[in-house]
Amino acid sequence: MKKQIQLRGKPLKKRDITQFLIDNLFYLCGTSLYAVAVMMFAVPNQIAQSGVTGIAVLLNHLLHTPVGITNFLLNIPLMLLAWYFLGHRFVLRTAWVTAILSVVLDVFGSFIPPYQGDRLLAALYCGVISGIGLGIVLYRGATTGGMDIIARLLRLKWPHMTMGQVLLIADALVVIIAALVFRSLESALYAVIVIYASTRLIDYILLGTGGGKMLLIVTQQAPLLTDVILQKMKRGVTVLPVQGAYSKQEKHLLICAVRNNELHKLTQLVWAYDSACFMIVTQAGEILGEGFRMPKKTHPPA
């Protein structure tokens, strides 16, 4: 019989409230930085952004519609599709962060001074600041909707395509459309700079130098925590029998490797289900294998 996983009671509720407030602080900081990048550097210099926000910027140029409201309206049909195909949990958090981003975009757009100097500097600063902002949001396990939803939906039909490939195709289409709307090849070229700088910053925030974290968890709730990590994190776990030197109690050591952006969620899950465990988090310089970076195929030595 499949084991039912139940959360603890009152202490977890208090922790959830604190966690919700902290998450939203990160969401606000991340979306604010992204809004600064878009409204200060991208819109005044006719530089397209990637994804649905990029389409909102183009509509702002053509129809003078508010970027934030347009961004949210464009995301509504995508969220409805995601609700049906991907589940409500993913959509609820995405809708919440998208709403925050949309409000912040229009609020910042009403008072933030536009930069209309060197367009190359505008593209570079836009890419760096937007990358940091999106990286902060993604680091907390959320997304701003848009192309991320489209990528997940398309992978249901064509699972062989990676998220990176889908997003690359979508960004390329937005850049081409931007060149036509702005009637300028330079706008498209500057957009490429923005996208490249942004993705590099996001990768650095989420993945660091390509490594991750390794957790060593000493627990008496090994079956429960193993189920939690497998089901909720989709990560593998190695279980080893150990004995406490002082207590002489028989316990288990769980070994689990995760990406940097997954560490926060995993530690919260572990503490939620076993607050008495002992956990060590170490830096993994490089992680190779399924679910991480695959090593290059080589022929065995003769």
Kindly state whether residue 228 falls inside one of the protein's structural domains: yes
The pTM for the full model equals 0.68
Of 38, 182, 34, residue with least CA distance to 114: 38
User: Do 142 and 253 share a domain, yes or no?
Assistant: no
User: Do 116 and 225 share a domain, yes or no?
Assistant: no
Kindly state whether residue 63 falls inside one of the protein's structural domains: yes
User: Do 90 and 200 share a domain, yes or no?
Assistant: yes
- Split at pLDDT 50, 70, 90, the class of 72 is very high
User: Do 93 and 199 share a domain, yes or no?
Assistant: yes
27 exposed, middle or buried (CB, 10 Å; 0-12, 13-18, 19+)? buried
Domain that holds residue 226: 212-284
What pLDDT is stored for residue 3 in this prediction? Answer: 45
User: Do 234 and 115 share a domain, yes or no?
Assistant: no
Phi-psi region of 146 (alpha: psi -120 to 50; beta: other; left: phi over 0): left
What pLDDT is stored for residue 8 in this prediction? Answer: 45
Alpha-carbon torsion (91, 93, 96, 102), positive or negative: negative
Output DSSP code: residue 163. Answer: H
Number of domains in the chain: 2
- For the segment 91-101, the average pLDDT, to the nearest whole number, is 88
SS3 279: strand
User: Do 167 and 265 share a domain, yes or no?
Assistant: no
pLDDT in tens, 5-26: 444 444 556 667 788 888 899 9
- For the segment 133-152, the average pLDDT, to the nearest whole number, is 80
Kindly state whether residue 271 falls inside one of the protein's structural domains: yes
Beta strands in 244-277 (DSSP E): 250-258
Q: What CATH number does the domain containing 227 carry?
A: 3.30.70.120
Mean pLDDT (the chain) is: 82
Of 174, 166, 152, residue with least CA distance to 59: 174
